[in-house]
Amino acid sequence: MSQAAQAFDTRTGKPASVSSGVRARFSTPGPCLAAFLCLAASIAANAQLKTGEWQPLFDGRSLEGWRETPFTGRGEVRVSEGRIVLGPGKPMTGVTWTGSFPRSDYEVRFEAARLEGSDFFASLTFPVQDSYCTWVTGGWGGDIVGLSSIDGWDASDNETRTYFNFEKGWWYAFRLRVTDDRITAWIDDKPIIDVAIRGRSIDLRPGEIKLSAPFGFASYATAGALRKIEYRLVRPR
């Protein structure tokens, strides 16, 4: 080896042995190794989510992971007896999730009750690929359920509109599935919505409901309560 190519120990000025060079190279983890470890941890975390196990979004004790939605004239939001309580607003009150959330191929389930008032009490705004939509629960007088909006039409005017009688103080189980092709929903395990969305315009109706995005609940001049909020990833069909 020529002198120009020979490696030297900067402390002694003498040629460094191969063994000392190897030891120096591996004495501390390099950036590539650190990146590999981070990638492996991320893959492991995602693999756990892909098992289809339900992941809680509400701990029943606090608003950790949530923030009050900054609606104009919003009512009080509090946690009581394992519930998120949305007080009646002027007109809306809500909470918005602050963590990460999938944009497709997922399910959400929660329980909700209308405590007082006569309009929607737990409407859910959720991601649909690169846009958002709202599952209206008991709007327009208290009994209309549907999606706002599809091709520019509100839940009251598109094919997802249906009617459901919500009794005050009664808990209902809601479940929503979102894939690239369809949005499907159930109330108390009864099919409520099943609509094809590929190639269609999915968006929010104009107004402050956009503040609920990317994932949030809202009530309209009505007191509502939420509990047992969970989600899971699903395999596309």
How close are the terminal C-alpha atoms of the chain, in Å?
63
How many other β-carbons are positioned within 10 Å of the β-carbon of residue 224? 30
CA 235 to chain centre: 17
Helix (H) or strand (E) holding 153: none
Beta bridge mates, 178: 106, 183
User: Could you give the residue range(s) of every CATH 2.60.120.560 domain in the chain?
Assistant: 56-233
Q: Is 167 exposed, middle or buried (0-12, 13-18, 19+ CB in 10 A)?
A: exposed
92/205 Cα distance (integer angstroms): 14
| Token couple for 172 | 């209902």
Per-residue pLDDT, 169: 98
DSSP state, 15? Answer: B
Per-residue pLDDT, 136: 98
**Torsion region of 44: left, alpha or beta (phi above 0 gives left; psi -120 to 50 gives alpha):** alpha
CATH of domain 56-233: 2.60.120.560
Tokens 């030297």 -> residue: 8
Helix H segments across the chain?
18-26, 31-49
Amino acid code (one letter) for 214: P
Tokens 């939605």 -> residue: 69
Averaged pLDDT, groups of 10, the chain, 237 residues long: 45 47 41 43 47 92 98 98 98 98 98 98 98 97 97 98 98 98 98 98 97 98 98 87
CA quadruple 52, 212, 142, 189: dihedral, nearest 10: 0
Per-residue pLDDT, 50: 56
Cut 0.85: pTM above it: no
Q: Is 83 exposed, middle or buried (0-12, 13-18, 19+ CB in 10 A)?
A: buried
Beta bridge mates, 32: none
DSSP state, 140? Answer: T
67/236 Cα distance (integer angstroms): 31
How far, CA to CA in Å, does 145 sit from each of 26, 43, 122, 180, 203? 62, 38, 11, 22, 17
